[in-house]
Every structure is written in structure tokens, then in C-alpha cells.
């Protein structure tokens, strides 16, 4: 299967590390012009260098901005011009006692995990529909469906993101623009390593800590390991392509079989 995204411009939010960086790299490998987003110039510069090292002749540009800020977001969209592919990857997570999560913390999770994606979708959708082609992909989580007791605020924000995706897909009906969620399962990133060590013995070597985390906290996983970011990126690149033209309004799972359901 050959995916060619030449001539398309993609913006991937929160793409200086982890899943976002893997997605940006995958899109660049498929030929897209990719805008790499982060809040600081140094981190964006490092990410651009990593993509160029991985992909010959990668067409990548920096998009330094705080995507949770309305003005910053509008500026970046204006600077990039026509955006054909939007990947709302930016998100935050962390373990917390459900009874200790404050109203401010709930609001922060919705600002980052829901409203940032909603705002960007609202900004780019008119241009996509006018062009008759576009892709919006929201990176959700298995936690949207299987709400974890240790991070209810995160799970509920990702549940809301599934609804946002379905709603915007309806808004784009019949235009040639597709909108989907990608439900990522437990994935191996630096942030997840820190999270794992919040829940298991910090003295354990990483391989043992990962196995203990999966055994105790994610036993439903059918692959019984953390997913690699590139595995999430593979699905995103496919859904960004013309090959996925009949897939919209969906919540597509890359969860290692974690969600015990035939449908999301």
C-alpha cells in the first residue's frame, strides 16, 4: 500500500516528542509538508532536526505556538495558509485521586484536551470544505471508553473529544472532508514512562516496570505490551490519505485490543 501525500500541508499539534513526533515523521515520509508544533523554539528545532534525520528531503516547518491560546492558534493558522490535514494530538494526562481534582484542574484538562482541538477544527474546516478535501484527526485514548479510576478527568476529556469528532464529521458531511478520532491504547512515550513509575516500584528496571504496569493496571491488553508511537502514526497516515475517503465520523482503535468491546 503506497500512500502519497505530496502537495498536502499537515499541522500536527504537540509534535515535538512521543506520539506527535512519530505522526509528524510518518506524514513527512508520505510526502506531506508538515508543520511541527511546540511551545518553545528549542523543542521545535530539535524535532525538525529529528524528522530530517529520519526522512530524506523531509518538507517540515516550525509552528511555535501555545495551541491552548486563542491568539497564538489563530496566528499559526494564518501563517501556514491552507491546511489540508489537521492532527489534534496535543494533550495532557496524569494520575490523581478523584476526590482531590479541583475545578481548576478539570478546566485545565478540558482547555488542553478538548477546546484546543475544537478551536483548531473550527478554524481550518471552512478552508477544507471550500477546497473539497481535508482530514481532521483527533488523537483520543482508550481512557475515553474505559475510564481509569486513577485519572477520571483525563478519561472524561477524551470522551468529550470523541463527541467533538463525531459532531464535526456531521458538519463536514458531503464536502470531501473527513473527521475521525484515533483511540490510542497504552503507548510507550517518555511521559508514559513517568506515569508508569507513579504506579509501580521506581526501583524496577524499565522492562520489568512495564510488565508490572500492564499486569496490574492494563490487564485487558491483548498484546500485553505498550504500543510504540510509530504504530499510532501508521493509522494516522492512512486516515490522512485518499485511501481512507469513506471513513469519517469514526473512532478508530489502535489500542492493542485493550477496549473489551466489538465497537468503541
Beta-strand runs (E) in 167-248: 177-184
CB neighbour class for 124 (10 Å; exposed up to 12, middle 13-18, buried from 19): buried
pLDDT value at residue 88: 98
Residues 87-106 as b or e (16 or more Cβ within 10 Å = b): bbbbbebeebeeeeeeeeee
User: What does the domain layout of the chain look like in residue ranges?
Assistant: 9-186+229-249, 188-226
Helix (H) or strand (E) holding 197: helix 190-199
Q: State the Cα–Cα distance between residues 28 and 35, nearest whole angstrom.
A: 10
Q: Which CATH superfamily is domain 9-186+229-249 in?
A: NAD(P)-binding Rossmann-like Domain (3.40.50.720)
In tens digits, the chain (264 residues) has pLDDT values of: 899 999 999 999 999 999 999 999 999 999 999 999 999 999 999 999 999 999 999 999 999 999 999 999 999 999 999 999 999 999 998 889 999 999 999 999 999 999 999 999 999 999 999 999 999 999 999 999 999 998 999 999 999 999 999 999 999 999 999 999 999 999 998 888 988 999 999 999 999 999 999 999 889 999 988 999 999 999 999 999 999 999 999 999 999 999 998 876
pLDDT value at residue 1: 81
Catalytic residue among 154, 197, 238, 258: 154
258 annotated active-site:
no
pTM of the predicted protein model: 0.94
Amino acid at each position: 500500500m503506497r500512500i502519497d501525500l505530496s502537495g498536502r500541508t499537515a499541522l500536527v499539534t504537540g509534535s515535538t516528542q512521543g506520539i506527535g513526533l512519530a505522526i509528524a515523521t510518518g506524514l513527512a515520509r508520505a510526502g506531506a509538508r508538515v508543520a511541527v508544533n511546540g511551545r518553545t523554539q528549542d523543542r521545535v528545532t530539535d524535532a525538525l532536526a529529528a524528522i530530517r534525520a529520519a526522512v530524506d528531503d523531509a518538507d517540515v516547518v516550525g509552528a511555535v505556538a501555545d495551541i491552548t491560546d486563542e491568539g497564538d492558534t489563530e496566528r499559526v493558522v494564518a501563517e501556514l495558509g491552507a491546511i489540508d490535514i489537521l492532527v489534534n494530538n496535543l494533550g495532557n494526562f496524569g494520575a490523581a485521586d478523584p476526590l482531590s481534582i479541583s475545578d481548576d484542574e478539570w478546566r485545565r484538562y478540558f482547555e488542553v484536551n478538548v477546546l484546543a482541538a475544537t478551536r483548531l477544527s473550527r478554524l481550518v474546516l471552512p478552508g477544507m470544505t471550500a477546497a473539497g478535501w481535508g482530514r481532521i484527526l483527533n488523537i483520543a485514548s482508550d481512557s475515553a471508553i474505559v475510564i481509569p479510576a486513577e485519572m477520571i478527568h483525563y478519561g472524561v476529556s477524551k470522551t468529550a473529544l470523541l463527541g467533538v469528532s463525531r459532531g464535526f464529521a456531521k458538519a463536514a458531511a458531503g464536502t470531501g472532508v473527513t473527521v475521525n478520532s484515533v483511540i490510542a491504547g497504552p503507548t510507550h512515550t517518555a511521559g508514559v514512562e513517568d506515569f508508569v513509575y507513579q504506579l509501580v516500584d521506581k526501583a524496577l528496571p524499565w522492562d520489568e516496570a512495564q510488565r508490572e504496569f500492564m499486569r496490574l493496571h492494563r490487564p485487558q491488553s491483548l498484546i500485553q505490551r505498550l504500543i510504540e508511537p510509530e504504530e499510532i502514526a501508521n493509522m494516522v497516515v492512512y486516515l490522512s490519505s485518499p485511501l481512507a475517503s469513506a471513513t469519517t465520523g469514526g473512532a478508530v482503535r489502535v489500542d492493542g485490543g485493550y477496549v473489551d468491546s466489538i465497537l468503541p
